[in-house]
Structure 1
Amino acid sequence: MEEVFEEAFEIDDQEDLMNEMMNRYGQDLLRLVYSYVNNKEIAEDLTQDIFVKFYKSLHTFKGKSKLKTWLWRIAINHCKDFLKSWYNKNVIITEDTTYIQTKKDMVEEVVIQREVDDQLVSALMTLPIKYREVIYFYYYEELLMKEISVLTEVSVNTVKTRLRRAKELLEERLEE
């Protein structure tokens, strides 16, 4: 059937051929591209690019293979080119595709965050143990005030007071 379909179209009829190829193979091609890039939005964009390439290079088709095979070869090459591209290696698309961040920016953010974390840990370690433990249990272990009270063997009100005082002391030390 495919051979008859391909022979039925003349080169003069490129737009009809293009529409027919998109209708017949569009979803299959999209799945193929997705299997390379593992991202729906990028796969959709690349699939459009592939059909544009296909259309623009139709005049070079020599008929040595089926059109579908030729289209698949264009798709595979295009996907491999994309995977090697600067864009793919250096740009990260977040869930909100309107915000694009380069890997370099992310590295800088990680370094800055580590520095801030180190400063916080240093300041935390200068606190008396009674304040350190409530900070640790509340923020890192995410325990409830009542659970911290049981662990530290002090009243819930004492835990609240220590937590408030620990925050004040941390703020003072971090401002220094």
Structure 2
Amino acid sequence: MNKKEKDILLEKLMVEYGNELFRLTFTYVKDKELAKDLVQNTFIKCYENLETFRNDSKIKTWLYRIAINECKDHFRSWQYKKVQVNNLLGVYKGLSVPSFENKIIQKSNALNIKEVVFSLPKKYSEIINLYYFSSLKIEEIADVTGLQVNTVKTRLRRAKQKLKNKVGEVEIYG
């Protein structure tokens, strides 16, 4: 594949999968700018490794795998750990705790289903996002995440139950 063909293919992939990859990375990092950076890194790695793509799976699945690995690499990075320590130290330096009224307002704002999904543990929000928002089949999710098909099914079932419970909490307390 020559450079021009790679450029054309990359542009096509960016248009077709850019938004989906952004939503995926955002479910992990919950920061728009960082999610954009991770998607950009995903496409850079895609471009650099297009020749190694073996067509064992769909290119969409391959891109999702790269994006998830980018997110996981971010969480293992020194920079992320430093920010987490600084945030933790900030909490102990006497930052104010939200009032009861503020908590109720925050709960009522959480009715947006995506926000509720993002509040789930990553292992569940990832599966929900891939299944419902990215419309991947269970087998494709297993390929993307590296999990067994039965593990994906179990996590999907548990995630649905957690969503049901969380939506019920918002309705009761919101």
What TM-score results when the alignment is normalised by the length of structure 1?
0.47
Q: For the pair shown, which has the larger CA radius of gyration, 1 or 2? A: 1
What TM-score results when the alignment is normalised by the length of structure 2?
0.48
The structure whose RCO (Cα within 8 Å, separation 6+) is larger is: 2
